[in-house]
Amino acid sequence: MTTAADTSLDRSVMPPSERRTLLGWMRRNLFSDLLNSALTVVAAAVVFLVALLLLRWALTTAQWGVIPANFNLIMRGQYPAEEAWRLWLALYLLGGVIGLMWRLISGKFSTAALIVFLIPLALREVPLFSWMTRFHLLVVAGAGAGAFYLGAYLPIQRSVRAAVYVLLGYLVVMLVILRGYSGDAGPMPTVTTILWGGLLLSLLLAFFGITLSFPLGVALALGRQSKLPAIRIISVTYIEFIRGVPLISLLFMGQVMLQLFLPDGFPLVDRVLRALVAIILFSAAYTAENVRGGLQSISRGQYEAAQALGLSTYRTTMHIILPQALRAVIPVLVGQFISLFKDTTLVALVGLFDLLGIARTITANPDWLGTQQEVFVVVALLFWIFSYTMSYASRRIEQRLGVGER
Amino acid sequence: MKSMRKLNKAGMILSMVIGMIIAACMSPAAGPEVVESDEAAAPAMQETQTTLSIVQERGHLVCIGNAQLPGFGFLDSEGNFSGFDVDYCRAIAAAIFGDADALEVRPASARERFTILSSGEGDVIIRNTTWTMSRDTDLGMNFGPTTFYDGQGLMVRKESGVSTLQDLQGASVCVVTGTTTELNLADQFAAAGVAYEAVVFEDFDQSFNAYDEGRCDAVTTDKSSLVSRQTTLTAPADHVIINVTLSKEPLGPAVRHGDDQWFDLVNWVVYATMLAEEAGITSENIDSFMDSNDPNIGKLLGLEGDFCAKVGLENAGCFADVIRLLGNYAEIYDRNLGPDTVFDLPRGLNSLYTDGGILYAPPIR
């Protein structure tokens, strides 16, 4: 372990960075010799040509009318229009929760926080949106900023633990808002999960998939390291079994076969829930293996030192081993979470309308035949935005925790 | 010695766990057996739980459908299921509940549809499903009346003037490789003694792109797909689907073996739409038939007899509700595939037998 002072010392003796002029950089990197120059020219030509063709398609041939016409479908699937205000309510709360969590975790209004609050404001500039949508986005940003400032006066102690409780509480409230509680009528009529779709369903599946598979995966990784044979064998068997099966077969089992195993007259389990359980079970096995990598990177000395201090196994694991092990595998874990997000598209194959399922049914609408390219480009863009945000966030966290420096 | 015993114990636990997993894995293979035992139990079950009573208790019909077939099943921009097949789902819901929206469409892929029906998660399949013998027997399905007679067709350029198979002598035909479509093409052209050149592709997109670019004189697949694909060509109006059918694809509803009352109900809802077209009853003029003296019309609309009770429904006007809410066969067809849609698909075989088609519904008596 090096101290912070050492790190700054290391920095101070680093060689001075070269002067960065554009021309100098280009000569050094793009035109250093004949072969390199030729490659640069060819690559630039290819990029230019592809960009030109894409741009020409996007500006002339593409029928972008399909996107605004089906925008609600892409965003929330079959979620009834008259209940859509509940989605906004959930988003207001999300803005507030993020603001509050920021206050509880860092307490400072950093640049990153500013960016988070600027996202809803930036989204308002998308020309597609109605003034109603823009108003909602303004409220989301306002709720975030408001919660951040008011959070300072709350009688809650600043801690990550408090932030996690706030988040868990929000999840429950959000599910109640989305699902409704008052049956067929009343202030919040039930919207069955079958009607949840589009981006809403994709994000919910990914979010709950990640948050619920993570603790299960960590438990399995610890179980695999356990000295108790029963726990170890169960963990190993589970991990190896799940990793030997493709996700789509788990989804099919859940959607199609489950009913055959259940006794007659057994109430049908919610189909979205079944898909979610399959995703969680699947992802947990991979998380477990990634976390195991982190656990095995911890040197024996850490365990021995903890024992010498008289810490219990529980405390050693929670306070010494896991924090170091998890920090070491952040990039791998985030990579896996991104792939989980993209894997949620498989639910389209078992009859749920996630983003991809919605895209496929939109292109089957007789009014919009032949618009596959337009719809799938937009879907890809949406996936890219969220995946890139995740990977950007992971890099920020790594920087903050100093992974690779200590 | 002690560690040996430990090892044995661990081995035993391991083998037990593995045994359990294998058992769990084998169960899917035992699927058909499960279905069979269900069938054996069906007579005993029927007294309490018929499909109809389950549907009525649930309050809506679960119809296994398609969400990705233009004209037959898809979500419209408001998020409602729409299409020819979906309208027949709605028709059954209308007959049972008097409400065409008492319906949940369960989108399913071609592979999983039969399993979902067998497991009882759906009540009926209406999903461009071809009635074949092995499905009717091995898979334990009962097929209702064909709602749409599809068949493999050929699309050509209008300017070529091709209208029969013989006109295609020496022509090149775009086709997807490894499908029954390719085999049908070879069989039918050989039978007609017409020489042709097959230009094969891996998938539909490539096949139709090649045709659009003029690399072949004709392109072949099922007619219902041809019409939807036609609209995606650069100049849809320059192409025509010729009146030649290369294979039989009767598409209709399917239900589980073992519940004849439910099977009858589905059958007669479909027949009712055809009988209504025969009698000239539409969703718009149905009220003018309500004092009809024609006994055939009276029986269809529930003015005389208790024909709805014969399929287990208390509502004597069950078929009248279907016609009022969905219309007769012609209305359903025209709404989804007819001249006012992008498809403009000629009725062909799907005309009444009186109009040269093969739609022939048995009488209600």
Q: What is the pairing mode between strands B152-157 and B239-242?
A: antiparallel
CB A319 within 8 A of CB A313: no
For A89-104, the pLDDT digits (tens) are 999 999 888 888 888 8
Residue B317 in this model has a pLDDT that exceeds 50: yes
For A267-298, the pLDDT digits (tens) are 677 889 999 999 999 999 999 999 999 999 99
Mutate to test the interface with A, among B62, B77, B334, B341 (most CBs of A within 10 A): B77
Q: Report the pLDDT value the prediction gives residue B354, as an integer from 0 to 100.
A: 94
Highest CATH level, class, for B49-149+250-355: alpha beta
Residue B18 in this model has a pLDDT that exceeds 60: no
Q: Report the pLDDT value the prediction gives residue A18, as an integer from 0 to 100.
A: 60
Name the least confident of A68-77, B8-17, B20-29, B345-354: B20-29
For B304-315, the pLDDT digits (tens) are 888 999 999 999
The C-alpha torsion from A221 through A224 and A227 to A230, rounded to 10°, is 130
Domain locations in chain B as residue ranges: 2-45, 49-149+250-355, 152-247
Residue A12 binned pLDDT confidence (cut-offs 50, 70, 90): low
Residues of A with a Cβ under 8 Å from any B Cβ are: 69-70, 72-73, 77-81, 194-195, 197, 229-230, 233-234, 237, 241, 252-253, 255-257, 259-261, 264-265, 268, 349-351, 353, 357-358, 360-367, 369-370
Name the more confident of B298 and B30: B298
Same fold, B49-149+250-355 and B152-247: yes
Average pLDDT for chain A? 86
Residue with tokens 């809506």: B60
Residue B364 binned pLDDT confidence (cut-offs 50, 70, 90): very high
Q: What is the pairing mode between strands B103-107 and B218-222?
A: unpaired
Interface of B with A in 172-231 (CB under 8 A): 228, 231
Q: Report the pLDDT value the prediction gives residue A19, as an integer from 0 to 100.
A: 64
SS (H, E, C) chain B: CHHHHHHHHHHHHHHHHHHHHHHHHHHHHCHHHHHHHHHHHHHHHHCCCCHHHHHHHHCCEEEEECCCECCCEEECCCCCEECHHHHHHHHHHHHHHCCCCCEEEEECCCCCHHHHHHCCCCCEECCCCECCHHHHHCCCEEECCCCEEECEEEEEEHHHCCCCCHHHCCEEEEEECCCHHHHHHHHHHHHHCCCEEEEEECCHHHHHHHHHCCCCCEEEEEHHHHHHHHCCCCCHHHEEEECCCCCCEEECCEEECCCHHHHHHHHHHHHHHHHHHHHCCCCCCHHHHCCCCCHHHHHHCCCCCCHHHHCCCCCCCHHHHHHHHHCCHHHHHHHHHCCCCCCCCCCHHHCEHHHCCCECCCCCC
Of B21, B70, B79, the CB nearest to A369: B70
Size of chain B in residues: 365
The first and second tokens of residue B157, run together, are 């350029």
Name the more confident of A235 and B176: A235
Mutate to test the interface with B, among A71, A369, A372 (most CBs of B within 10 A): A369
For chain A, the distance separating the N- and C-terminal CA atoms, rounded to the nearest angstrom, is 7
Q: Report the pLDDT value the prediction gives residue B34, as an integer from 0 to 100.
A: 38
Interface of B with A in 105-144 (CB under 8 A): 106-109, 112, 115-116, 118-121
All domains in chain A, ordered by first residue: 80-191 (no CATH), 196-406 (1.10.3720.10)
CB A126 within 8 A of CB A188: no
Residue B349 in this model has a pLDDT that exceeds 80: yes
Across the range B126-145, mean pLDDT stands at: 90
Answer CATH for B152-247 from 3.30.70.141, 1.10.3720.10, 3.40.190.10, 3.40.50.970: 3.40.190.10
For A381-391, the pLDDT digits (tens) are 999 999 998 89
Give contacts of A351 with chain B, Cβ < 8 Å: 67, 106-109, 112
Residue B283 in this model has a pLDDT that exceeds 60: yes
Average pLDDT for chain B? 84
Q: Which residue of A has its CA nearest to B67?
A: A361
Name the more confident of B212 and B179: B212
